[in-house]
Chain A
Amino acid sequence: MIVAADSPHPADTGWQRRDFLAGLALLGLAVGPAAAAVAASAPQDANIVRYQGLMRDVAQIVIPRTDTAGAGDVGAGAFVLLGLAHGLGGAHQPVTTSGLEGFSSADGRFDHARWLALELDRRAGGDFAHAGLPARQAAVAGLDRDAFADAPMAQPWRTIKNLVLTGYYTSEIGGSKELNYELVPGRWDPDVPVTPTTRAYSSDWTAIDFG
């Protein structure tokens, strides 16, 4: 197109937000067209339905409700499953750890959700989903402790935990109620005293990348 110096700009035909897959919308995710293009064909989408209860529970145990909502409350469990299906947080990197063979899904990728369900059942001594909250908390805490001690499950658990964190702190409640969010700070103050009420900023983009 040619835009002469004095000609009007053409109408904007750009990006417009809209909900996409009904199934995901039911899970409380408000998502847009970029995801719609690929979500429907993602091989692990079946897990988004099958493991939604488990992931909501695990997210809520990692980041529980305090004076603000927990991660399960705000849909971080559903975000974990979306992230796993789309390779966020290294979810599509091969898992070659000995002892974790057999968790490949049909597309050859590691099936984090199926692994987590079996791992937590094992740690809960049977049926994780129907164990009491203290037992479920203990199972998740034990898994986390072992993973950060570099046990074989470090990679898949840390992938899931990272997605829980992302799902929570990029939600409106996690990002702007639990933490501070300021899209337009309007000023740079290079030295502010820390007080008991000081909170981190979810809109500190440099800290997110490098902190």
Chain B
Amino acid sequence: MDFDAIVVGSGISGGWAAKELTQAGLKVLMIERGREIRHQQDYDTEMKAPWEMPFRGEGDTALYEREYPVQMLNRHFNEFTEGHFVNDAQNPYQTGDGTDFTWFRSYQLGGRSLTWGRQCYRWSDYDFGANARDGHGTDWPIRYADLAPWYDKVERFVGVSGANEGLKQLPDGQFQPPMALNVVEQHARAEIAKRWPERCLTVGRTANLTEAKTEEGRAPCQYRSICARGCSYGAYFSTQSSTLPAAMATGNLTVITDAVVEAVDFDPATQRARGVRYFDTKARVHKTASARLVFLNAGAFNSVHVLLNSATDAMPQGLANSSGVLGTHIMDHANTLSAAAIMPGFEGHTSFGNRPTGIVIPRYRNMDTLDGIGHTRGYSFQGGALQSTWTQGKRLAGTGTDYKNTLRKPGPWRMVLVTFADCVPRPTNRLTLDRSKTDANGLPQLKVDFAYGKEEHAALAQAKADAAEMLTAAGGHVIMGFDRPGAGGSSIHEMGGARMGRDPKTSVLNQWSQAHDVANLFVTDGAQMSSSASQNPSLTYMALTARAADAAVSMLREGKI
């Protein structure tokens, strides 16, 4: 064997797999399809001002429309960050009839850990019990108690700032001190709590440090809020700032970049994975690596792609797919801007610095009482209060000195609430391989079939009404709100496809994120998710990865795999 373990992918979960496995003493190969990006050395635009950029930070729209038509829709995509996103023209995918799906991707060392939104929320038993309660999907084989110690572990290492609020639906954690709400948000929190005690507006729990982690070389947040450029302070959690140096420090890690994993090699005699086959995109040659363990952390959809593309005579439907559910039940939170309001009365107040997180109002529907109208799950709000700057001039009539002087001042306060609604797992929302279309590396393209259903539409309709009444109660004048979901994928929480479950006949993975069919194969990214909850999922991927790595090492040592 070349290695004890192979980790496919270097993003949020891949970094955790590499860290945990190397710290347990295993010799690990991490394979990343994209280029190398070195911490503190390769964040090329981090310190640039707009006037130092060819297109002032906005970027070349004509170029983006040709080559980045999907990625350019990402809020964090701009001229400073374009190098941290894939070129869509070079990385095509297919969608089924009627599917509107935007797949946001970052193919590079660190993956989307460099560009993620950094929101860190624990799931609760309302979430792990959702499928069992309403019958959608398959029951999770774990509950909150199984994951709680692993949440503790990853929060401490990641460095999550946030406030403990004592909420059953959003469990407290091991947090650094929270960032403060601004004056408008403080007011809204108080007014909302007065009328609806069960609705808690709190600052977003974010993987941005408020206290240094000196032992890991990480400084506290500088309140720039340009995280997706890369942060040389190491103030937000990324593979580069956190898990990669920890894994490298063991001396047990080898990293290969510019290498696309094509398939997991399966040995039908032993029913075990032997390793992986990959394509060196620089040398343009196919290679292999062998190991006793394989962890798939390529990102939910790409891990499914690897499994589907690993079909052999022994497993013609794809590796670890005796159930036939591989690729099915994919999800993404249904999101929309539920309300935006002008917030008068705070004209004498402004703020300093750029807080890199907004606010969250955790779910309060369908907990102990089913009070959703037409839906049985949860939705939560994120957003915040902000002031305008010069871009308000685009909406204002005027020219000349008075106009210029108006734009010199901070503009009016406004507040927005964006809904993230639980997405019901459905067999018709699925990934397949389109073998008639290949990419630049000769691999079949992924095809996405996806649509929201009546449950998500009903949730967003109720959320719109709730958002308007909350901002109105806080003294705001609501100026707009929507109840139609954005395109699938636009929450960038795509997940599922290799779901965890109790029954090998109806699920791909067991309670240890381990393939039912292939004992030394683990899938610990978003693909393993059996339901979506309404919280941002990355923290849960990390906790599940750490837990799976611990289980895998134990099984290896006990000779079970």
Answer whether residue A117 sits at the interface, using C-beta atoms and an 8 A cutoff: no
The 3 closest A-B pairs by CB, nearest first: A211-B388, A148-B397, A35-B54
Answer whether residue B181 sits at the interface, using C-beta atoms and an 8 A cutoff: yes
- Chain A residues, CB < 8 A from B483: none
Which secondary structure dominates chain B's binding surface?
Answer: loop
Answer whether residue A104 sits at the interface, using C-beta atoms and an 8 A cutoff: no
Per the 8 Å Cβ criterion, residues 1-32 of A in contact with B are: 1-6, 9, 12, 14-15, 17, 20, 30-32
Chain B minimum-CB-distance residue to A42:
B62
Chain B minimum-CB-distance residue to A90:
B61
Q: In the bound complex, what is the Cα–Cα distance between A193 and B351 (angstroms)?
A: 8
Q: Given A88-B55, A172-B51, A175-B50, are A200 and B389 neighbors across the interface (CB < 8 Å)?
A: yes
Q: Given A31-B54, A86-B55, are A191 and B351 neighbors across the interface (CB < 8 Å)?
A: yes
Number of A-B contacts (CB under 8 A): 242
Q: In the bound complex, what is the Cα–Cα distance between A2 and B400 (angstroms)?
A: 59
Q: Given A199-B408, A209-B75, are A189 and B400 neighbors across the interface (CB < 8 Å)?
A: no
- How big is the B interface, by class? 35 or more
Whether A64 lies near B404 (C-beta < 8 A) is yes
Segment at the interface with B among A46-54, A120-128, A138-146: A138-146
Q: In the bound complex, what is the Cα–Cα distance between A30 and B55 (angstroms)?
A: 10
- Chain B residues, CB < 8 A from A36: 54
Q: Given A1-B282, A5-B253, A87-B61, are A15 and B55 neighbors across the interface (CB < 8 Å)?
A: no
Segment at the interface with A among B36-44, B148-156, B421-429: B36-44
Option from B38, B49, B54, B394 in Cβ contact (under 8 Å) with A172: B49
Whether A194 lies near B347 (C-beta < 8 A) is yes
Whether B53 lies near A32 (C-beta < 8 A) is yes
Answer whether residue A95 sits at the interface, using C-beta atoms and an 8 A cutoff: no
Chain B minimum-CB-distance residue to A189:
B352
Q: Given A161-B394, A175-B50, A207-B391, are A141 and B399 neighbors across the interface (CB < 8 Å)?
A: yes
Whether B60 lies near A35 (C-beta < 8 A) is yes
Whether B408 lies near A179 (C-beta < 8 A) is yes
Segment at the interface with A among B220-228, B270-278, B457-465, B488-496: B220-228
Q: Given A166-B58, A179-B408, A200-B389, are A30 and B399 neighbors across the interface (CB < 8 Å)?
A: no
Give the Cβ gap from A198 to chain B, nearest Cβ, in Å.
6
Option from B36, B45, B353 in Cβ contact (under 8 Å) with A3: B36
* Residues of chain A having any CB pair with chain B under 8 Å: 1-6, 9, 12, 14-15, 17, 20, 30-38, 42, 61-64, 66, 79, 82-83, 85-89, 91-92, 137, 140-141, 144-145, 147-148, 158, 161-162, 165-167, 169-172, 174-176, 178-179, 181-194, 198-211
Segment at the interface with A among B122-130, B255-263, B369-377, B430-438: B255-263
Q: Given A86-B63, A183-B49, are A205 and B253 neighbors across the interface (CB < 8 Å)?
A: no
Whether B353 lies near A185 (C-beta < 8 A) is yes
Answer whether residue B179 sits at the interface, using C-beta atoms and an 8 A cutoff: yes
- Chain B residues, CB < 8 A from A62: 399-400, 403
Chain B minimum-CB-distance residue to A206:
B386
Whether A170 lies near B51 (C-beta < 8 A) is yes
- Chain A residues, CB < 8 A from B351: 188-192
- Chain A residues, CB < 8 A from B542: none
Whether A6 lies near B397 (C-beta < 8 A) is no
Q: Given A38-B60, A144-B399, A205-B226, are A191 and B349 neighbors across the interface (CB < 8 Å)?
A: yes
